Each structure stands twice: as C-alpha cells, then as structure tokens.
Amino acid sequence: MPTVSDAAEFVTSTQEQAVASWVSYLNQLRIDNLLSALSQQDEHLRDALTSVDEAIRKIDLEVVAANRGGQHGMHGFIAEIAEVGIGNARKQILGHEAVYQWVNDNGPVDLMRGSVEIQQKFVAAGGRFSLGAIAEHLQKYPEFVHNGGKYQIPSNHFEVIQRLHALSPEEASMLLSRSGDGPSLRDWQRVQAFFQSGSVGIESLEPSTLRYDEVQRDVYTSTIAAEKDSLRATDRSLRDDAHQQSRPTLREGGTVALTAAATAGGTAFALAVFTKRREGKRLNEFTGQDWIDIAGETGLGFGEGGVRGLSIYALTNFTATSAAVASSIVTASFSIAEQANKLRRNEIDELEFIETSELVALKAAVRALSASVGQATIPIPILGAVIGNTVGIVMYKAVASSLTKREAALIERYLDEQRALDEQLATEYQGILEKLDQSMSDYLGLLERAFSPDVQVALVGSVELAVALGVASDEILDAEEKIDAYFLD
C-alpha cells in the first residue's frame, strides 16, 4: 500500500517534470520564433533586391537605351525610377509594403507615395539648388502644393537649403569670409527670397534618398550596386537582432525561477498540511509549532523550487541537455546532497550512502526517460511530460515491489545450480588428475628404460617408447633384419 512518503515523492516528481516541460516549451517557442523571423527575412530581402533590380532594368531599357531626356534631362528620369526602386526596397527590407509608384506620364506628378503626390526636381543649373525648377512648376500648377503635393529634391540640395533657410542675417554675413565650395551669401539671399514669396514653405520640400551626383548616367549602376550592398548589410543586422531576441535572458530565467519556486512552495505547503492531517489533526487543531513546521517546509520547497527552475533553465539553454534530463539531474543532485549531509553526521555509513545514491540516480533516470517518452507520444506542452512521468513512476514502483521476490528466487536457484556444478566439476577434476598421474608414471618408466645404460634394456625400452608415441610399426627397428637393412643398405 502506498505510504505518505510515496505520495509526496510522486506529487513532487510530477511537479518537477511539469516545470521542466514548461521550460522546454519556452525554449522551443523562442526557437520557433527565430526560425519564423529568419524565414520572413528571406522574403523581405528577396523582395527588396527585386525592387532595385527592376529599377535598374527600367533605367537601362526605358531611359538610357531610349535616350529619354537627352544629355541634360536623362538624369531626371533616372532619379525618378531609382527613387521608386530604392524607396520601396528600403521599406521592404524592414517587412513593410512597397509605397512608391512611378507615374510616368509627363504630367504634374512624377511619383506617388501612397496618396501623396510628388514632383521631383533634380536641377543644378543656375546654382539655385533646384528651387528655380520648383518655381517654374508652381507657375504651371499653382494648386500643386495646396492640394498636398510635395517637391522632392536631391538630398545634398535639401541639406544646403535647410541650413541657409535657418540662418539669421547676422549669421549669413559670416558667409562672406568663407571660401571653397560652401554656400555663399548670395546663395542665402536666393533661398530667403524664394521662401519669402510665400508660394511654398520649406515643409513642402523633402529630400530624395539620393544625391544629385548619384543619378548621373555614368554612375547610376554603381549607386544601385552600393544600395544592394546596404540592403544586405541591413538584412544581416536584422538577422543578428532576431538571434539576439531569441537568446535566453536573465528576465525569462528569473520568471522561470519564481514560477518554479511558487509551484514548489505550494506543493510543499499542501504536502506538509496533508502530513499533519494524516496524523489525525484537524486544521483548527493545528498548534503554533505545527504552522511553524509547515512554514519551514514551504520555505524550503520555495527555495529548492527557485534553484531547480533556474538550474533547469541554465542547463537547457547553455548545455546540450533536455528539460526532462535537466530536471532529473537537479533532483538527483538535491537528493545526493542530502545523503552526503547524513553521511557527514554519521547517520548512515559509506555503504548506505553509495546504495542510496545509486537508487536516487536510477529513479532520476526513470523520470527523465518517462517524461521524454511521454512528451514525444503526447506533444502537448507539460501534459505529455506529466503523463509520461506518472506512468513511468507507477511502472517503476510496481516492478520494484514485485522484483524482490522473483530476484530472491532467481538468486537461490542460481546458487543451488552453482553448488551442484562445483561438486560435478570437483569429481571430474579429481578423475582427470588421477589419469594424468598414471600416464605420467607410465611415460617416465618408458623414458627410464629407453635411456638405460644396459643396451639390451635400452633397445627394448626404445621400441616400447616408439610404440607409445604412435610411430608406425614398419618404421620401428624391433628385429635384426630391420636393423641390418637400415644401417647397411
């Protein structure tokens, strides 16, 4: 009949494997999320590279091969198509939808970004950073900005305009003393005059993804090639981020430890109360000492549960150990440590320590195997491990209780057979020794006669020795005729 100790061991074992299975589920969930993220990133990279490849194909066929725009206007069409391809690719590499569409109808709108109309101006002539071209467009389409349209200019032009627009007259006067390729006071005056007209505000301007020099006929292929390298670098960074997010964290480990501690503490509390109740006490009869004992058991269970949860989390994430095995290792470690303390206190001897430790290891192996088989058979987180552990422990208990009688019978029968075999072998051995002694005696007698100083005795002894050794009779010199024929022929 199962004892209170057996019931406590069974409940504790089930709780331990449930925690282990939960940790395994968390680990697998992170791995699944990583694989899903990497698979999605494969699609994002493929879509992004397709966008830039399509852009370069269109530029080659529809602009360069067709000489669209001529020597002075071709770069404008290159800029439009490149903006669509690169702008979409930069969105797609992050998993977003393509947003740009090339209008290509020589009308007031060059590009659409969602519902936003965009007119692109890539003009360096006149030194006005594309503002002159914007002014001309506004004369033809005065409602463009009012209707929410945007003017897109080279990124290097936009940077200069933004800077000059923000300068005060005092700061602008400092530009007189500057030399080189930087903006001049005259540039500042042009920018200020453009925006003071009130036709368009700086908020209606935006930078392109490209500079003016990057869309020229002789460099656009290298520009897009560099963009593809940048997309691949972004892809690698996103994959690294996915790997980092899939790594075990201190926060998750802490959550596992607290959950395992709470579970073990609750189990210890229930078992402690159950033990007291088995002693015949009702809850209202529990004394202060009883509650102190229960609190001590609960606290010990809470501490062991926390250590167990954190240890399982560490073993499963930083070593090649399954959750079921990790739980059994930790449980066995606790049990063996307890036996070691008993040995130090001289409560058990060395033989008992070894035997108990072996039994602990055997039980741990049964739990690990049962939980693993159960989880594989019933691939539902926690449930499979708990059922497997339950079945395994029940089977182990049944076998352990019935094995003793059978084992004793087998051992007794084995000993009887060994005793009978010993007696039989001893008799046979004695007979062989006697035969050997007789044979040796006869052989020594033959040798003595064969090598006797008396020639006649030696001749007879040699013949006897040859016969004893199996020499053919026609080869034995046992007659005068044979002797004469051997020596005289």
Domain ranges, ordered by start, for the chain: 4-30+247-402, 34-243, 451-489
Tell which phi-psi region holds residue 67, choosing left (phi > 0), alpha (psi between -120 and 50) or beta: left
Give per-residue pLDDT as tens, 416-474: 776 787 788 888 878 888 887 777 776 677 667 667 677 666 677 677 767 776 777 77
Q: Which residue has the higher pLDDT, 91 or 391?
A: 91
Cβ atoms of 187 and 121 within 8 Å: the answer is: no
Burial class (CB in 10 A: 0-12, 13-18, 19+), 279: exposed
What residue has token string 């016969």?
467
Q: Which of 201-205, 271-275, 366-370 has the lowest mean pLDDT?
A: 366-370
* Stated pTM of the model: 0.58
Give per-residue pLDDT as tens, 317-345: 655 445 455 555 555 555 555 666 677 77
HEC-encoded secondary structure of 299-333: HHHHHHHHHHHHHHHHHHHHCCCCHHHHHHHHHHH
**SS3 (DSSP) at 153:** strand
d(CA 188, CA 191): 5
Q: Locate 406 and state its tokens.
A: 């059978």
Cβ atoms of 311 and 334 within 8 Å: the answer is: no
- pLDDT value at residue 359: 60
The model's confidence at residue 409, banded by pLDDT at 50, 70 and 90, is low
- pLDDT value at residue 16: 60
Cβ atoms of 324 and 385 within 8 Å: the answer is: yes
- pLDDT value at residue 312: 60
Cβ atoms of 110 and 73 within 8 Å: the answer is: no
Residue 478: C-alpha distances to residues 450, 453, 489 (Å): 13, 18, 17
